[in-house]
Structure 1
Amino acid sequence: MSITAKREEFRIYLERCGVMDALTKILVSLYEETEKPPDALDYIRKNLGGIVDNTSEIDNLKKELEESKAKIAELKSKLMKYEQTKDEVMVE
């Protein structure tokens, strides 16, 4: 398959999936902005389906997950102690 054919196939794929339309709309929107944003790439990220760098949100969720895992482990340990105490009381 020639390079030209591969490019055409890829272009058709992008059109079929709506990528070309989405990119065209966002670029037209950027063009029509009266006050151009300082970072055009950031503008595109924010306006193209809400894609943004959410590293801090991911880090916060990871931290929350680790804290929750620690709390679960703590509660499981307490539950085992209570069950042992209950079993000892029932034997007496």
Structure 2
Amino acid sequence: MAHYRASDSKRGAVPEVPGERSVLDSLTVLVSLYEQPEKPSNALDFLKQQLGAAGEEMEETQALRQELARLTEQCEVLGEENKDLRSRLQRYEPAPDAPPPAAE
């Protein structure tokens, strides 16, 4: 007796990865870029924003910019402190290549 098996419509289809956009969604974004009356100045930023990657990246970028500003300020403060300490050290210790003071 032959058994009839209905064809599986999803057979051979590539399963979608959760959290990932499909190729069709990505192409739709490209079409929307093409149809824009005024093209954005930065197409890459437009694509990132439309695909949803811009939000996470912007938050991370903002945090990194804040950390960079803090570290730059700290580096300047430490540079000034280093310069001050070097000048104070020069007053108390002669340079290593300077001749020793003459004994009387």
Q: TM-score, normalised by structure 2?
A: 0.42
Higher helix share: 1
